[in-house]
Amino acid sequence: MQFHHHGYVSGDPHTQPAAATGINRPTDLPKTMDVLIVGTGPAGMMLAASLSAYPEVMTRIIDRRPGRLEIGQADGIQARSVETFQAFGFAHRITEEAYRITEMNFWAPDPHNPAHIIRTSRADDDPHGISEFPHLIVNQARVLDYLAEYAANSPARLHPDYGYEFVSLEKTPNDPDHPIHVTLRHTSGPHKDTTTTVRTKYLIGCDGARSKVRAAIGRKLTGDSALHAWGVVDVLAVTDFPDIRTKCAIQSSAGSILHIPREGGHLFRSYVDLGTTAPDDAGRIRNTPIETIIDKANQILSPYTLEVKNVAWWSVYEVGHRLTDKFDDTPHNSTHTPRIFIAGDACHTHSAKAGQGMNVSMQDTFNLGWKLGQVLTGLSPESLLHTYSNERHVIAQNLIDFDKKWSSLMAKPAHEWEDQGELARFYTSTAEFPAGFMTQYQPSTITNQHQHLATGYPIGKRFTSAHVIRVCDTNPLHLGHQHRADGRWRIYAFADTPPHPGTPSHMSDWATYMASPHSPVARFTPATKTSTHS
């Protein structure tokens, strides 16, 4: 492919030129680095992709698996996540292969025959039209593939180091350049079961709900169990259920199902209500056989039937809501620089039915990535890193509060509903939250309070896109699609109208200032980088 950049060059514009910063980037895991990421799940790969825009930062990401994840469990991609993918340049590609959710249908017992279900209502998935991007269903492994591709094609040429398991860490103040010493175990290859030690400036645990990094810094997940179990199945089936290719919340006298079509046009996923569990169950419910789950699904769907032909994946889980008290290694209100962070399921766990786990995990490290990059390149003070835990802990707590409500409504027995429309109303009235658009960071060192100067753009919330016409070439485009996750700041200036044609305006005065040696563009753009004016 030919593209125009400093003349015509043959190549793929999605593959950026490799950085020539003088950093030695060995094929094997080096002994020292700036950032070590543990875990190649959604949180870890989002962080790796974000930091790959900083080639002067030595970043490595490890995983105990011998290679890439082939089949993941998570599948829901909320619209805010797709907006984030746009910043990495692959939103349109993943949308093409995903299943697109446009509405949610609700089923409840037939008042004339409570043993059977009927459709009671339909609801738009995005009733408020808040994003130009859709709600998608696509396997977690494909999300990781796209993030890995971006990192590999970035200036840093970042690739995961598979076959390493985190064992322990030691903080060593007498090594100020790399104060975190990490012991790793080889899980595959010729050195299997042997250990090695590496040194890093920062360590990030993206290693799941059983995080060893979290345990190593003394953090714990605390919370409770709802004492309710669900079976989740990805199946291929012959059925007469009319909404098999539509997302549905199904409540019947036999229990509940959350039904989600999968990408590809054939498989679907069902979260099947297995009922309450005893406080002393001790996990025995997880031994429920697949045949029991399928039989339960048929009871709930009556008068419709499922004839399962193939089970692609299945599991049983108990609903639990847990959160750790802080997402880094510093005490509360400490001024010490955090060196170790945790993200994703290592920080917060909840049910899968709201489709939030992968999304919130990626937003955790989308928040952290640019902060680490700015600090390690000398553009921001280390105190910036305190904002990560402060901002994301609030979001995690809000998520757990929302999920408790949604999970309890989904598990509520049909005979307890006085109004069958209550679940649909809750879904539409809270649609912005699971879509990822209710996040609003509170005033801090990076989020100011001058809301009156930003009418229409709530400070601390995501940048809302809009169709605009670019002045320089009159091309129509989406304003929000102009920023990229490339380590640069963008300034968006909304022009005023000159008082008289041909006279200066506030915008022209501002543009003159921004071009001057005293402007923030001149003062804060490193000599090695080219500034971007928007």
pLDDT in tens, 68-90: 988 777 889 999 999 999 999 99
Per DSSP, what are the bridge partners of residue 229? 275, 318
Question: If you search the block for the tokens 């875990």, which residue do you land on?
Answer: 39
Alpha helices in 166-251 (DSSP H): 212-216
Please give the structure tokens belonging to residue 97.
């292969």
Cis peptide before 303 (omega within 30 of 0): yes
Sign of CA dihedral 378, 154, 391, 467: positive
Give CA separation, 481 vs 86, 222, 345, 455, in Å.
7, 39, 29, 21
In this structure, of 81-90, 409-418, 476-485, the range with the lowest mean pLDDT score is: 409-418
Where are the CATH 3.50.50.60 domain residues in the chain?
2-71+140-221+322-412
Query: Is 531 a residue whose pLDDT tops 50?
Result: no
pLDDT of residue 528: 63
- Report the number of secondary-structure helices (H) and strands (E) in the chain: 12, 22
Query: Is 152 a residue whose pLDDT tops 60?
Result: yes
Contacts of 196 (CB under 8 A, 6+ apart): 29, 183, 184, 186
Per DSSP, what are the bridge partners of residue 72? none
Query: Is 514 a residue whose pLDDT tops 70?
Result: yes
Q: Are 167 and 105 in contact (CB under 8 A)?
A: no
Contacts of 95 (CB under 8 A, 6+ apart): 82, 133, 134, 136
Average pLDDT over residues 22-39: 88
Count of C-beta atoms within a 10 Å radius of residue 472: 5
In 3D space, the residue among 270, 275, 276, 305 whose CA is nearest the CA of residue 290 turns out to be 270
Map residue 314 onto helix, strand or coil: strand
Q: Say how far apart CA 71 and CA 108 lie, in whole Å.
A: 33
pLDDT of residue 20: 61
CA-based Rg of the chain, rounded to a whole angstrom?
25
Average pLDDT over residues 444-454: 83
Count of C-beta atoms within a 10 Å radius of residue 387: 17
Q: Say how far apart CA 49 and CA 24 lie, in whole Å.
A: 19
Q: Say how far apart CA 429 and CA 432 lie, in whole Å.
A: 8
In this structure, of 91-105, 203-217, 223-237, the range with the lowest mean pLDDT score is: 223-237
Query: Is 200 a residue whose pLDDT tops 50?
Result: yes
pLDDT of residue 12: 73
pTM equals 0.92
Query: Is 21 a residue whose pLDDT tops 70?
Result: no
Query: Is 270 a residue whose pLDDT tops 80?
Result: yes
Please give the structure tokens belonging to residue 525.
């753009």
Contacts of 320 (CB under 8 A, 6+ apart): 223, 224, 225, 226, 349, 350, 351
Taking 3-state DSSP, the helix, strand and coil percentages for the chain, each rounded to the nearest 5, stand at 30, 25, 45
The domain at 2-71+140-221+322-412 falls in which architecture?
3-Layer(bba) Sandwich (3.50)
Q: Are 163 and 186 in contact (CB under 8 A)?
A: yes
Question: If you search the block for the tokens 């100011």, which residue do you land on?
Answer: 448
Label residue 456 left, alpha or beta by phi (over 0 means left) and psi (-120 to 50 means alpha): left
Q: Say how far apart CA 340 and CA 389 lie, in whole Å.
A: 11
Residue 416 per-residue DSSP state: G
pLDDT band at residue 355 using 50, 70 and 90 as cut-offs = low
Q: Are 276 and 89 in contact (CB under 8 A)?
A: no
pLDDT of residue 277: 85
Q: Say how far apart CA 342 and CA 360 lie, in whole Å.
A: 13
Q: Say how far apart CA 533 and CA 113 lie, in whole Å.
A: 65
Query: Is 284 a residue whose pLDDT tops 50?
Result: yes
* Phi/psi at 213 (5° precision): -65, -45
Query: Is 429 a residue whose pLDDT tops 90?
Result: no
Contacts of 533 (CB under 8 A, 6+ apart): 491, 514, 521
Cα dihedral 328, 334, 336, 339 in deg (nearest 10): 0
Query: Is 99 a residue whose pLDDT tops 80?
Result: yes
Average pLDDT over residues 365-387: 96
Q: Say how far apart CA 233 and CA 224 lie, in whole Å.
A: 25
Contacts of 466 (CB under 8 A, 6+ apart): 478, 479, 480
Count of C-beta atoms within a 10 Å radius of residue 323: 18
